[in-house]
Amino acid sequence: MTLDARVRGDFPILARTVEGRRLVYLDSAATAQKPRPVLEALRLFYERSNASVHRSIHTLGEEATELYEAARDRVRDFLGARYREEIVFTRGTTEAINLVAQTWARRALAEGDEILVSDMEHHSNLVPWILLARERKLRLRAVPVTEAGTLDLGVMDRLLTRRTRLVALTHVSNVLGTINPVGEIVERAQSAGARVLIDGAQAVPHLPVDVEALGVDFYAFSGHKLGGPTGIGALYGRREVLEPLEPFFGGSESVREVWLDRVTWNDLPWRFEPGTPPIAGAIGLGAAVEYVTRLGREAIRLHDLTLVRDALEQLADLEDLVVYGPEDPELRAGVMAFNLPGIHPHDLAAALDREGVAVRAGHHCAQPLMRRLGVTGTVRASFFVHTGADDVAALGDALRRARETLGSGRLRPSAS
């Protein structure tokens, strides 16, 4: 029995219809649908144990704290981190990257230092560095993307110099689906003396991830792309790197003692979690992590690979359709961007929606990559554990019909 057949009943939302048809949800890279164990964990917490964490002495407070911290342990196991102090709950990947930029990088980097990013980054792994670079007179350099849709590691080697203090790259491209060779990148970066931050938002739903084995210094991901709630994610930060840092935001949980003229900081990881945290969110994330762990991350990867192969074949059957990213399915996770020439991505997505097929269209918050590809946007289909061959087939069929209805739009001159 395929994975999707086993788990589809776990996702209540898949029972609904769109435009009178079965929902074919192929927008998991934007946000994943939530399996029942996550919904149950949220409901149970609010119905039975809702209280603030860490300082409520009553029974509910104890339960809430226990559940919240147990979620942290689950995330630690999920990422293969050595210490629980290395797992900081954030609102998501974006906040996690900003946290590193405004704490570690602001302190460690000085004028003239360089940060190495790539042309395939999501804006969330560019804008925090652009802001910091402007303020601290740093230089951003970018590893180019090859014609094959992979990072140009040869050029990366040339860009890695004594000036490079940080390499900040995505694990999986949210457009091309490319799986970047993080282990290899870490080796090269570390021999140049640079720290490494990995944006894992699109990787954790598809691939086994082990931060210790990869050797990264920072790893960021969002819960909602993994089937967890929105507004919760995590940053892994190597303990000795986080230890000397001051908080990103100041607030109650960040401190040990407060005087009017000075403060002492709380221990890791709470130093970085001021204010009442998203307790239910963290518990929901813990449930999501447990869910995918129970399904088996190797099994999820194999399922993903089957879908990628299937989708590449289906889409290849559509004449003129351009698929972006590596041809080799082994180099891809379940994220696939494509275009039908002459049809605007938003029009194509609207036509697919008429058939109950939910995809994403636009620049995917990766405008440098769009420029590299020479397009303003693409359509993107993305998969999760419930995605099956029938979903991929529905995409192919809907694309064929959309081309018939929209295909005769003429090409107009482009603005320069």
Partner 1 sequence: MAGALYGGVILDRFRHPRFFGELPGADLVHEDVNPLCGDRLRVEVRLGPGGELETVRFQGDACAIATASADLLAEMVEGRPARDASEVDREAILGRLGAPVRPSRLACVNLPVGVLRGALRAIGGGPGPGASPDRARGTGGGSR
Amino acid at 331: L
Q: CB of residue 6 vs partner 1: minimum separation in angstroms?
A: 27
Residues of this chain that interact with partner 1 (CB under 8 A) are 29-31, 122-124, 174, 201-202, 225, 344-347, 350-351, 354, 361-365, 367, 370, 376-377, 401, 404-406, 408-410, 412-416
Strands (E), 93-190: 114-118, 139-143, 164-170
* CB nearer to partner 1: pick between 124 and 266: 124
Strands (E), 17-173: 17-18, 21-22, 24-25, 87-90, 114-118, 139-143, 164-170
* CB nearer to partner 1: pick between 181 and 342: 342
Q: CB of residue 13 vs partner 1: minimum separation in angstroms?
A: 17
Q: Which of 178, 75, 195 is nearest to 129 (CA)?
A: 195
What would you report as the CA-atom Rg of the chain, rounded to the nearest whole angstrom?
A: 22
Q: CB of residue 403 vs partner 1: minimum separation in angstroms?
A: 11
Amino acid at 99: L
Q: Which of 252, 208, 276, 203 is nearest to 29 (CA)?
A: 203
Q: CB of residue 376 vs partner 1: minimum separation in angstroms?
A: 4
365 classed as catalytic: yes
Catalytic, out of 255, 365, 375, 393: 365
Amino acid at 149: G
* CB nearer to partner 1: pick between 127 and 153: 127
Q: CB of residue 30 vs partner 1: minimum separation in angstroms?
A: 5
* CB nearer to partner 1: pick between 191 and 416: 416
- Round to whole Å and give the CA distance between 113 and 192: 13
Q: Which of 381, 331, 122, 387 is nearest to 207 (CA)?
A: 331
Amino acid at 119: D
* CB nearer to partner 1: pick between 39 and 351: 351
> What is the crossing angle of helices 389-406 and 297-316, to 10°?
30
- Round to whole Å and give the CA distance between 54 and 69: 10
Residues annotated as catalytic (active site), given as ranges: 365
